[in-house]
Amino acid sequence: MFLLKTNHFNKINIIKGFITALMLSAFIYFSHFSFEIKIINSIFGVFGIYLLLSIPKKSLFFAGFFTGIFWCNWMAISLQYYDLTYIFPIVLLGIGIVFGIIFHLFALIDNLIFRSFAIFIFTFISPFGFNWLKLELLFIDSYFSTSKLAFALIIISLVLFIYLKKFRFIALFIMIFALDFSKNINLAEPNINISMPQMMVNQDLKWQKEYVNDLIENNFAKIEEAIEQKKDLVVLPETAFSFVLNKKPEILNRLLEYSYNIDIIVGSLYLENREIFNASYHFFEGNYEVAKKVVLVPFGEEIPLPKFLVDLINNIFYNGASDYSKASTATDFLIKGEKFRNAICYEATTDKIFENLNETKYMMVISNNAWFIPSIEPTLQHLLLKYYSKKYGVMIFHTVNGSPNRVYKP
């Protein structure tokens, strides 16, 4: 009888955690399937935070476990390109356990005040440098603001709602002050005619020698098309040239020649002092400059662990390859008199790349999402770029391989 009761309560804890995770994740899947209704996202978001505050401590691990998998399952998709599909379940399990432990720590001291404070503090924390599980993002397509203050007000309102026995619904009026009363910034588009060719190149083709020349010529065809259309700038995605471009003089010289007719931004690798960088190249008037990536993808471009573990993982899974190197500061490109902050994929969804913007109001982002197709990764990236565009008042031009190009207006 005792075992039956134990199993029963375990099932209840799992179910409560699972429902909480559904509420915390639904907005991503709604957006993925183009079902963006503000009132529904508002209700689901608030109810998700309410459950996070009120479910039993034993349910929190399962809430984190399923939330981590719902938000980050796409991480395992890229393993197919390293012939590591056999560890797919292990990666998913690891993701779930990490976030399960983090959510369980919300109730390290098992009272509501500590839990509410811990949940709010989590919005400032990036486990292993990864910040895509951002709880305030729940409200990006809702009637609520995505600011830290608004998130704090929602938590305070729900804490009072749980505590108060009488007139508890009065506490919900605090949420009025968490509503998004801000107006869109009237930021004019740059006075530049920009070409952002839509690329849909499968990741496995990029590494097959027989396709390399075809992909190179396809890139040049996009540049020629932009020139014919009298564009001022053409932007090709991250690693559109999937090799070390500054060690390919024949390709470099062709791009320099085209740059007399049009500015070109293109993603490729860059070699300097025996270090490899993921980079953006800007070609203009027979010259070029390089913006090296500042923030690397955790467990993708760098492994945020002690060096002995980094070397072990690289030797076992990546044939001894080294992590990419990174720049210390962001780069701004001056294009036809307009300044653009450069960003490559993941770093565009971090606060660091927005530091020291000064008067820069535009950002040029290049990505390669072919690593994660099919998955919700492009959707989550889209929601994060919308969030950061609004947060910093920056217009973001996003050219991407594998998912739709977009322009984000604050």
Task: Give all domains of the chain, ordered by start, each with its CATH number.
Answer: 2-178 (no CATH), 194-408 (3.60.110.10)
Give pLDDT, residue 312: 55
The pLDDT assigned to 314 comes to: 56
CB 279 within 8 A of CB 248: no
Residue closest to 338 by CA, chosen among 395, 410, 258: 395
Q: Which of the residues are catalytic? A: 238, 293, 345
Task: Name the more confident of 206 and 341.
Answer: 341
Cβ atoms of 27 and 138 closer than 8 Å: yes
Residue 278 is which amino acid?
A: N
What value does the mean pLDDT take over residues 7-25?
Answer: 88
How far, in Å, CA of 120 to CA of 281, rounded?
Answer: 39
Q: What is the pLDDT of residues 269-320, one digit of tens each?
A: 999 998 999 999 999 999 999 999 999 988 777 776 666 555 555 555 555 4
- At 3, is the pLDDT very low, low, confident or very high (cuts 50, 70, 90)? very low
- Distance between CA atoms of residues 154 and 219, nearest Å: 48
> How do residues 230-260 score in pLDDT, each as one tens digit?
999 999 999 999 999 999 999 999 999 999 9
Beta-carbon contacts of residue 254 (< 8 Å; ≥ 6 apart): 220
In the chain, what are the helix, strand and coil shares in percent, each to the nearest 5? 55, 15, 30
What is the predicted pLDDT for the residue at 300? 73
Give residue 299's pLDDT: 76
CB neighbour list of residue 384: distance below 8 Å, 6 or more residues apart: 132, 134, 137, 349
pLDDT at residue 311, as a whole number: 59
pLDDT at 5: 45
> Residue 33 pLDDT more than 90?
yes
| Sign of the dihedral through C-alpha 44, 49, 50, 51 | positive
Whether residue 53 is predicted with pLDDT greater than 80 in this model: the reply is yes
DSSP secondary structure, 15-69, as one string: HHHHHHHHHHHHHHHHHHTT---HHHHHHHHHHHHHHHHHS-HHHHHHHHHHHHH
pLDDT at 99: 97
Partners of 289 in beta bridges: 282
Q: What is the pLDDT of residues 82-93, one digit of tens each?
A: 778 888 999 999
Angle (deg, nearest 10), helices 209-228 and 249-258: 10
Q: What is the pLDDT of residue 307?
A: 62
- Name the 3-class secondary structure at 195: strand
> Model confidence over 141-166: pLDDT tens digits?
999 999 999 999 999 999 999 998 78
How is residue 244 annotated by DSSP? B
pLDDT at 261: 98
Pairing of strands 233-235, 287-292: unpaired
Which distant-in-sequence residues (6+ apart) come within 8 Å of 236 by Cβ? Answer: 197, 199, 219, 222, 223, 264, 265, 266, 267, 366, 399
CA angle 268, 346, 198 (to 5 degrees): 60
Nearest residue to 244 (alpha-carbon basis) of 211, 215, 210, 279: 279
Specify the pLDDT at position 403: 96
pLDDT at 204: 82
Least confident span in 39-48, 147-156, 170-179, 205-214: 205-214
Strands 287-292 and 275-284, bridge-based pairing: antiparallel
Q: What is the pLDDT of residues 353-397, one digit of tens each?
A: 999 998 899 999 999 999 999 999 999 999 999 999 999 999 999
16 within 8 A of 64, measured Cβ to Cβ: no
Other CB atoms within a 10 A radius of the CB of residue 85 amount to 12
Mean per-residue pLDDT of the chain:
91
Alpha helices in 275-328 (DSSP H): 307-317
Handedness of CA 132, 136, 140, 142 (dihedral sign): positive
How much is the pLDDT for 320?
46
Nearest to 302 by CA among 273, 284, 276: 276
Cβ-Cβ contacts under 8 Å for 274 (sequence gap 6 or more): none
Instruction: For residue 129, give the amino acid letter.
Output: G
Which residues touch 107 (CB under 8 Å, ≥6 apart)?
57, 60, 114, 115, 118
- Provide CB contacts within 8 A for 147, sequence distance 6+: 136, 391
Band the pLDDT of 140: cuts 50, 70, 90.
Answer: very high
233-235/194-195 β-pairing: parallel
Q: Which residue reads 């492994």 in tokens?
A: 303
Percent of the chain topping pLDDT 70: 93
Q: Is 281 helix (H, G, I), strand (E, B) or coil?
A: strand
